Chain A
């Protein structure tokens, strides 16, 4: 039990902090933070599978997150029949061209030996393919985007339940990871970091600018939800009764009926948002727990030992007959799929898909900071890192504001420095996170909860 003490303490402190936010700021705010903490935790599990288990640096988290989000749109949004009629055939045609390109490239790779001729042939196939796609897809895209551009202007999705899209998101991200892994996994660690960072940027720029796919920077709003809507709750009697029962003490004190009704209405509105967020939190928590169990099992299975062996000494592992390349590819796909799942969860939580908001700072580097701070190679640590860093990321502004006010209390309100500092309080979050990473890397390189090797 003693060895788990630090884990338990760390988690208790974390949840106390969130509860404190609930008491001092608002429960809705606390639950928003909790939900995002849980999503971040899924992302860090994904990154940790790659970095902690296998030592692969994947700076492409942003790309997989965005792809997971795209999956939500493609699966859950209702299809736009006019758009399909206008340009569906063109798009299916270009999909066929892409498939033909892949098949012919594979054929060339198989049949012709490695030579300059082969490279030119492949380049030729790609160039001709791109020109053909532009020829076929060009008019299709134009007519699709012309269909009610203010409201739709895209093909829409399949109109399926949104929870299904989480799985699809994971598959999308895994598929992308397969391609990237095939291209880049042979590279040295820091090359891989740069390559994945840039490839993720390509993915996001495609999602941003291909309006026919998911409206691009025009955003998709009003996505379906796996949980009830606030408006429905506020009109359903069982929910109002529940709130009344819950707050009966508070309501009894008020005498006049109209005032009591007003208070009840206010309480119902507050409670509905809390209830929705609680439902989300329940869903997310289920995902986190399932992932945690699976990853823990995997980590201490023969497969997990093989992975760690490869991470710690690639040559020795390969001398023992382990296929390093295959193992790396598999873990790259698995980790990325988890990140894709997190991306889908995040879009579900927000109810909107905003491709413009995918930036490497927020979706790659902050996630990496979470993994490093929490503890590499330890799933409990990674999840804790997600919680701690996300909490800091959100609460850094208020904390910094408080500190600035405290230290400049003796200065008059009109002091230029004080005004400037208060205006830039929200940027202290970068400072806190940066200094935090540097301190952790220096004094506790294994993270808050270090990796534990259980001898079996």
Chain B
């Protein structure tokens, strides 16, 4: 019984939160990695682009709520995602046309493009703050919990409760759907294959008659979809605050590099590596050990490797370690 309790405890406080947080990071990391692989620059506007897409979802959610449209037990925000994606893609394409394409055609070094993306970051941040303001907003409606701790305790008779938030399930399900469609697209369709070819060797791809304009367009479309969905899922799970989204860029970058930048599958797994690293290292295992160890061995301290204040620092340390020992990522060469 105690063993079961210990497992439920871990599920409740580490594994399920890490899975949903990891999914959100994974979507962002694939976005970073695609832009890096195809357009060849580190996009420092990542967090703010995700925030931009989410902003539309938030605004539309408020609008839909005001005119009485909802999805019943599901959050209304899911209904707004397609519209937000369209706005996001339009924004990305116009940014690409007016800003990035010039440097791409000129074949500027990646560093210059990275600097330009810093400029885009400032502009995007300004637009977001002018439109929606810097405040914290919750836009989750519908059913909050799929399983409540008290219900679970009654059902199973265990002393440890298991809470499953609906946003966690939505996050994981949506991520699985989106990522599988994306990998199917990248690996099975002609356009997807041409994108990968372009990412692997630009000159060879051009020689074989791949249209670079189309590849860039498709990349931004996929990026827009990933950024918006990732952003909305994060916002539903926590809340929407522009500053937090900017900061989220950092673990997302860590995930992309840990997985080997330019490699979508690596980025996907990297998201979970970072999320599990953050949560497992900062979790206090005291209660866990009280369940599984005999009473005489019970620990006195919190059994916490690092305090939760260092959550972000953990993911960055993972990155530093990876950079030191496997600069091309821990999933180097891994393909579907």
Contact = CB atoms under 8 A, between A and B. Distances in A.
Interface of A: 55, 57, 119, 130, 138, 183-184, 186-187, 189-191, 193-195, 197-199, 201-202, 205-206, 208-209, 360-361, 365, 368-369, 372, 421, 423-424, 427-431, 433-435, 437-438, 441-442, 445
Interface pairs A-B: 3 shortest CB-CB:
A434-B122, A434-B123, A431-B126
A206 B307 CA distance: 11
Given A361-B246, A424-B133, A428-B126, A438 B323 contact: no
A335 B115 CA distance: 19
Contact of A431 (B116, B118, B127): B127
Given A190-B110, A445-B112, 10 more contacts: A183-B324, A190-B111, A191-B261, A199-B316, A202-B317, A205-B313, A368-B115, A372-B115, A431-B123, A434-B123
Nearest to B310: A205
B313 A202 contact: yes
Nearest to A119: B325
Contacts of B316: 198-199, 201-202
B123 A430 contact: yes
B122 A437 contact: yes
Given A183-B324, A199-B320, A205-B309, A194 B42 contact: yes
A242 to B, nearest CB: 44
B126 A427 contact: yes
A410 B265 CA distance: 55
B205 to A, nearest CB: 21
B77 to A, nearest CB: 23
B177 interface: no
26 contacts: A55-B111, A57-B114, A189-B109, A191-B42, A193-B42, A194-B253, A197-B253, A198-B319, A202-B316, A205-B313, A206-B313, A365-B44, A365-B121, A369-B118, A423-B133, A424-B133, A427-B129, A427-B134, A428-B126, A429-B126, A430-B129, A431-B122, A431-B123, A431-B127, A434-B122, A434-B124
Nearest to B116: A441
B126 A430 contact: yes
A428 B130 CA distance: 8
A190 B262 CA distance: 13
Contacts of B261: 191
Contact of A190 (B41, B246, B305, B320): B41
Interface in B299-321: 301, 305, 307, 309-310, 312-313, 316-317, 319-320
A186 B325 CA distance: 12
B250 interface: yes
Contacts of B118: 365, 368-369, 437
Chain B interface size band reads 35 or more
B125 interface: yes
B119 A434 contact: yes
Contacts of A193: 42, 111, 114
A361 B122 CA distance: 9
A209 B122 contact: no
A438 B102 CA distance: 11
B105 to A, nearest CB: 12
Contact of A441 (B112, B127, B301): B112
B310 A57 contact: no
B320 A195 contact: yes
B120 interface: yes
A184 B323 contact: yes
Residue among B316, B317, B325 having the largest count of chain A Cβ atoms under 10 Å = B316
Given A194-B257, A361-B246, A428-B126, A201 B313 contact: yes
Contacts of A430: 122-123, 125-126, 129
